[in-house]
């Protein structure tokens, strides 16, 4: 261990008296979504597929977005009136083509036996698109839970996507009817050639999810950090974010950050705790681990964090260092191991770096941060 490096925080890492203030370099938020259906096309030279997302919340409003995915990974977003999308929270590997408001017809009903879905919209060039799907199984579904690999196709990420898709399923061929048309032309989804271990059934590469948990970790930031004032409280809430602190002789250290919506809890924990960064002694380095969880699923994403103080500047890094591990029954895990390796390995290609500056003359603490892909 190098001089000034601490494995476990203690009073000796600090060089100035505690102020009772906390500056959190970590931000965590939800990107709410009610449900979705996503289909790929195997025989269309122009479009890779269609995705229907439903919303019903105070942030985005109530309605739907239908995304037409081009083969160059660009997405055109057709949104119903009343739905508002934040462009900073949309990560598309080929970029956002256009966001078009259109009062199109949609339906997405998911139950324990299957799904009914329908989309009827008009492309920006005037061609009609019509998609409908009906699946009804004879037995109750036993769906999967996955960490969606959306970050694996993003070259310049603005955040780390914790997209935990609970109750996600693949459409079974024998129990469904399907149609997708652009103008007068019919197109079809790919067929996965072998039965899925978790169901023993042949399926389309056409999936739906009734319970997506969409979390964003450490959105790109360049500005002033808010001074939190927990006083003597080790549990503290600021806006929609909750913090659990460890009070170390007046220095408040961050043990856990969490956000809660109506149904889900998304959180990140640190061991050792993130220290009171602005009061660190010059030359001190901290290295620890973080764990990200959703509800009762802990250790969903695991990784390393590092902090170093050099005069008035603090540098911090975070990066996942372990592959995602599928959960569930043996057959469910075997099913997910049939998916491409990128489903499990993409998280290790993300690296977050931040520079935090203490401006003594102005009494401000600022941070510039962002994610990079390492491969």
Does the structure show a pLDDT above 80 at 1? no
For the entire predicted model, the pTM comes to 0.90
Taking only the tens place, the pLDDT of each residue in 299-338 is 899 999 999 999 889 999 999 999 998 888 888 888 887 7
β-pairing, 235-238 vs 28-30, is: unpaired
| CA dist., res. 197 & res. 288, Å (int) | 38
Instruction: Name the pLDDT band for 2 (thresholds 50, 70, 90).
Output: very low
Tokens encoding 339: 């998916």
Whether 163 and 145 have beta carbons less than 8 Å apart is answered as no
Query: What is the model's pLDDT at position 4?
Result: 41
Nearest to 139, CA basis, from 89, 175, 100: 175
**Domain residue spans in the chain?**
5-27+218-373, 30-216
pLDDT in tens, 54-105: 999 998 999 999 999 999 989 999 999 999 998 888 887 778 889 999 999 9
CB half-sphere exposure, 278, CA atoms < 13 A = 24
Nearest alpha carbon to residue 268 among 332, 328, 320: 320
Q: Which residues contact 339 (CB under 8 A, 6 or more apart)?
A: none
pLDDT digits (tens, 9 = 90+) for 138-182: 999 999 999 998 866 777 899 999 999 999 999 999 999 999 999
12 DSSP 8-state letter = G
pLDDT at 23: 95
């Amino acid at each position: 261990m190098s001089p000034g490096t601490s494995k476990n925080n203690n009073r000796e890492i600090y060089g100035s008296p505690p102020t009772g203030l906390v500056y959190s370099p970590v931000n965590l938020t939800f990107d709410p979504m009610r449900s979705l259906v996503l289909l790929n096309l195997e025989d269309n030279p122009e479009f890779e597929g269609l995705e229907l997302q439903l919303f019903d919340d105070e942030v985005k409003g109530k309605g739907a977005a239908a995304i037409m995915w081009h083969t160059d990974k660009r997405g055109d977003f057709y949104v119903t009136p009343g739905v508002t999308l934040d462009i900073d929270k949309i990560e598309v590997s080929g970029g956002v083509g256009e966001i078009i408001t259109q009062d199109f017809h949609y339906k997405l009903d998911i139950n324990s036996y299957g799904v009914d879905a329908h989309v009827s919209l008009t492309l920006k060039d005037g061609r009609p698109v019509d998609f409908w799907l009906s699946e009804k199984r004879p037995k109750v579904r036993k769906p999967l839970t996955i960490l969606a690999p959306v970050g694996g196709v993003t070259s310049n990420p603005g955040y780390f996507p914790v997209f935990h898709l609970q109750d996600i399923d693949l459409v079974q061929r024998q129990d469904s009817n399907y149609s997708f048309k652009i103008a007068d032309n019919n197109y079809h989804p790919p067929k996965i050639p072998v039965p899925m271990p978790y169901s023993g059934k042949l399926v389309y590469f056409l999936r739906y999810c009734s319970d997506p948990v969409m979390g964003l970790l450490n959105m790109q930031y360049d500005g002033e950090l808010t001074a939190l004032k927990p006083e003597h409280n080790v549990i503290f809430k600021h806006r929609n974010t909750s913090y659990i602190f460890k009070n170390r002789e007046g220095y408040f250290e961050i043990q856990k950050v969490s956000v809660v919506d109506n149904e889900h809890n998304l959180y990140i924990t640190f061991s050792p705790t993130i220290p009171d960064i602005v009061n660190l002694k010059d030359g001190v380095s901290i290295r620890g681990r973080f764990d990200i969880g959703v509800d009762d699923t802990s250790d969903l994403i695991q990784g390393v964090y590092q902090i170093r103080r050099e005069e008035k500047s603090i540098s911090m890094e975070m990066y996942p260092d372990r592959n995602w591990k599928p959960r569930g029954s043996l057959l469910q895990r075997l099913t997910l191991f049939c998916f491409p390796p990128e489903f499990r390995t993409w998280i290790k290609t993300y690296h977050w770096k931040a520079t935090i500056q203490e401006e003594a003359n102005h009494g401000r603490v600022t941070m510039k941060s962002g994610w990079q892909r390492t491969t």
